[in-house]
Structure 1
Amino acid sequence: MKKILAVVMCLAAGMSAFAQSISLPPSGDNQRSSVTQWIGPVSVTIQYSSPNVHGPNGEDRKGHIWGELVHYGFVDQGYGTSKAAPWRAGANENTTITFSHDVKIGGESIKAGTYGLFLDVEKEGNWNWIFSTNSTRWGSYYYDPKEDALRVKTSPQDAEYTEYLTFSFTDREAASAVAYLQWENKRIPFKIDVPHVNEIYLSQIRGELMGNRMGFDYQPWMDAAQFCARNKINLEEALTWADNAISGQFIGREDFASLQTKAQVLYAMNRDSEADVVMGKAIKHPTANVAEVHQYGRALLAAGKTDKAMEVFKTNRQLHPDDKFTTYVGLARGYSATGDKKNAIKNWEIAIKNIPENQKAFLPQYEAEVKKLKGGA
Structure 2
Amino acid sequence: MRNVTFIIGFLLYSLVCRAQLTTPPIGGNKKASVSEQIGLTTVTVHYDRPGVKGREGKIWGTPIAHYGFQDLGYGPGKPAPWRAGANETTTITFSDDVNVEGKPLAAGTYGLFMNLGEQETTVIFSKIVVSWGSFYYDPALDVLKVTVKNQSLDRSVELLTYSFVNQTDSSAAVALSWEKRMIPFTISVDLVGQQMASFRKELLSKPGFTWPSLVQAATYCLETSHDLNQGLIWADQAINARYIGQKNFQTLSTKAAVLTALNKPDEAKVLMTEAMPLGTLNELHQYGRSLLAQKRNQEAYAVFKTNYDKNPNQFTTNLGMSRALVALGKPKDALPYLQAALPQAPNALNKTNVEAMIKAINEGKSN
User: TM-score with structure 1 length normalisation?
Assistant: 0.87
Shift of 1:247: 2.6
* Structure 1 counterpart of 2:286: 295
Code of the residue aligned with 2:75 in structure 1: it is G
Code of the residue aligned with 1:116 in structure 2: it is G
Q: State the Cα deviation string for residues 150-200 of structure 1 (Å, max 9, x = none).
A: 111111111232111111111111221111101111110001121x32222
Q: State the Cα deviation string for residues 298-329 of structure 1 (Å, max 9, x = none).
A: 111121111111111111111113x4221111
Find the aligned partners of 1:67 and 1:364 in 2 and give their Cα distance. Answer: 62
Structure 1: 5+ residue stretches without partners? 1-8, 55-59
Q: Look up the SS of the partner of 2:203 in the other structure.
A: helix
Code of the residue aligned with 2:22 in structure 1: it is S
Find the aligned partners of 1:36 and 1:47 in 2 and give their Cα distance. Answer: 9
Find the aligned partners of 2:271 and 2:325 in 1 and give their Cα distance. Answer: 25
The within-5 A match list for 1:6-21 is: 21=20
Q: State the Cα deviation string for residues 85-138 of structure 1 (Å, max 9, x = none).
A: 111000011101112222211122222221110111123x42211111222221
Given that 1:82 and 1:143 are in contact with CA atoms closer than 8 Å, whether structure 2 keeps it comes out as: no
Given that 2:49 and 2:159 are in contact with CA atoms closer than 8 Å, whether structure 1 keeps it comes out as: yes
Change (3 A) 1:19 1:158: closer
Code of the residue aligned with 1:157 in structure 2: it is Q
The within-5 A match list for 1:175-194 is: 175-194=170-189
Q: Look up the SS of the partner of 1:252 in the other structure.
A: coil
Find the aligned partners of 1:281 and 1:119 in 2 and give their Cα distance. Answer: 63
2:359 aligned with 1:371 = yes
2:111 aligned with 1:121 = no
The worse-fitting range, judged by mean Cα deviation, of 271-280 and 97-106 is 271-280
Which structure 1 residue ranges, 4+ long, deviate > 3 Å from structure 2?
Answer: 18-21
Shift of 1:376: 5.8
Given that 2:341 and 2:354 are in contact with CA atoms closer than 8 Å, whether structure 1 keeps it comes out as: no
Q: Look up the SS of the partner of 1:167 in the other structure.
A: strand
* Structure 2 counterpart of 1:4: none
* Structure 1 counterpart of 2:4: none
* Structure 2 counterpart of 1:57: none
Q: Look up the SS of the partner of 1:179 in the other structure.
A: strand
User: TM-score with structure 2 length normalisation?
Assistant: 0.89
Change (3 A) 1:23 1:347: same
Shift of 1:66: 1.3
Find the aligned partners of 2:222 and 2:240 in 1 and give their Cα distance. Answer: 19
Identity %: 41
Find the aligned partners of 2:328 and 2:209 in 1 and give their Cα distance. Answer: 45
2:50 aligned with 1:62 = no
Find the aligned partners of 2:41 and 2:158 in 1 and give their Cα distance. Answer: 30
* Structure 2 counterpart of 1:27: 26
Shift of 1:20: 9.8
2:94 aligned with 1:99 = yes
Aligned residues, how many?
A: 352
Structure 2: 5+ residue stretches without partners? 1-8
Find the aligned partners of 1:80 and 1:109 in 2 and give their Cα distance. Answer: 31
User: Residue 281 of structure 1: which of 269, 274, 278 is its match?
Assistant: 274
* Structure 2 counterpart of 1:310: 301
Shift of 1:27: 1.7
